[in-house]
Amino acid sequence: MEGRVVVRGRLRGRHIDLDEDVDALDGEVEVTIRPFAGPHPTVADMLALVATFPPGTRTKEDIDRQVAEEHASWDRD
Protein backbone atom coordinates (compact mmCIF):
# COMPACT_ATOMS: atom_id res chain seq x y z
CA MET A 1 0.00 0.00 0.00
CA GLU A 2 1.44 3.38 -0.96
CA GLY A 3 0.36 6.91 -0.33
CA ARG A 4 -0.45 9.11 2.55
CA VAL A 5 -3.70 10.77 3.53
CA VAL A 6 -4.02 13.44 6.22
CA VAL A 7 -7.48 13.70 7.76
CA ARG A 8 -8.49 15.70 10.79
CA GLY A 9 -10.71 14.21 13.43
CA ARG A 10 -11.44 13.93 17.13
CA LEU A 11 -10.05 11.44 19.61
CA ARG A 12 -12.38 10.20 22.35
CA GLY A 13 -10.65 7.61 24.48
CA ARG A 14 -9.76 4.81 22.07
CA HIS A 15 -12.17 5.96 19.36
CA ILE A 16 -11.28 8.33 16.51
CA ASP A 17 -14.02 10.19 14.60
CA LEU A 18 -12.70 11.34 11.22
CA ASP A 19 -14.02 14.56 9.69
CA GLU A 20 -14.20 13.00 6.22
CA ASP A 21 -14.25 9.59 4.52
CA VAL A 22 -10.98 7.98 3.48
CA ASP A 23 -11.40 6.07 0.22
CA ALA A 24 -7.79 6.37 -0.98
CA LEU A 25 -6.45 3.64 1.29
CA ASP A 26 -7.68 0.20 2.19
CA GLY A 27 -6.10 -2.27 4.60
CA GLU A 28 -3.84 -1.86 7.60
CA VAL A 29 -2.75 1.67 8.41
CA GLU A 30 -0.43 3.37 10.86
CA VAL A 31 -1.95 6.20 12.87
CA THR A 32 0.06 9.10 14.32
CA ILE A 33 -1.87 11.33 16.70
CA ARG A 34 -0.96 14.94 17.46
CA PRO A 35 -3.04 17.92 18.56
CA PHE A 36 -4.30 20.07 15.71
CA ALA A 37 -2.83 23.53 15.89
CA GLY A 38 -4.73 25.37 13.20
CA PRO A 39 -3.08 27.93 11.00
CA HIS A 40 -1.84 31.00 12.85
CA PRO A 41 -3.00 34.34 11.47
CA THR A 42 -0.31 36.59 10.07
CA VAL A 43 0.05 40.31 10.73
CA ALA A 44 -1.35 40.90 7.24
CA ASP A 45 -4.40 38.75 8.13
CA MET A 46 -5.00 40.81 11.27
CA LEU A 47 -4.61 44.13 9.45
CA ALA A 48 -7.02 42.94 6.77
CA LEU A 49 -9.54 42.10 9.49
CA VAL A 50 -9.15 45.50 11.16
CA ALA A 51 -9.62 47.19 7.77
CA THR A 52 -13.14 45.68 7.63
CA PHE A 53 -14.22 47.48 10.83
CA PRO A 54 -16.45 50.51 10.37
CA PRO A 55 -14.74 53.85 10.96
CA GLY A 56 -14.99 55.35 14.42
CA THR A 57 -16.96 58.49 15.18
CA ARG A 58 -14.71 60.03 17.85
CA THR A 59 -12.17 62.70 17.09
CA LYS A 60 -8.57 62.74 18.28
CA GLU A 61 -9.39 65.77 20.41
CA ASP A 62 -12.27 63.93 22.11
CA ILE A 63 -10.05 60.95 22.93
CA ASP A 64 -7.21 63.21 24.16
CA ARG A 65 -9.69 65.05 26.41
CA GLN A 66 -10.96 61.79 27.89
CA VAL A 67 -7.41 60.54 28.54
CA ALA A 68 -6.47 63.86 30.19
CA GLU A 69 -9.57 63.70 32.43
CA GLU A 70 -8.74 60.14 33.41
CA HIS A 71 -5.14 61.06 34.25
CA ALA A 72 -6.34 64.03 36.30
CA SER A 73 -8.59 61.73 38.37
CA TRP A 74 -5.68 59.52 39.52
CA ASP A 75 -4.54 59.85 43.11
CA ARG A 76 -0.97 61.04 43.23
CA ASP A 77 0.64 60.45 46.61
What ranges do the domains of the chain cover? 9-73
DSSP annotation of 52 reads T
Q: How far is CA 77 from the centre of its chain?
A: 43
Helix, strand or coil for residue 58? coil
Report if pTM > 0.85.
no
How far apart are the C-alpha atoms of 4 and 25, rounded to whole Å?
8
pLDDT digits (tens, 9 = 90+) for 59-75: 999 999 999 999 999 98
pLDDT digits (tens, 9 = 90+) for 2-55: 678 888 899 999 999 999 998 888 888 888 888 888 778 899 999 999 999 999
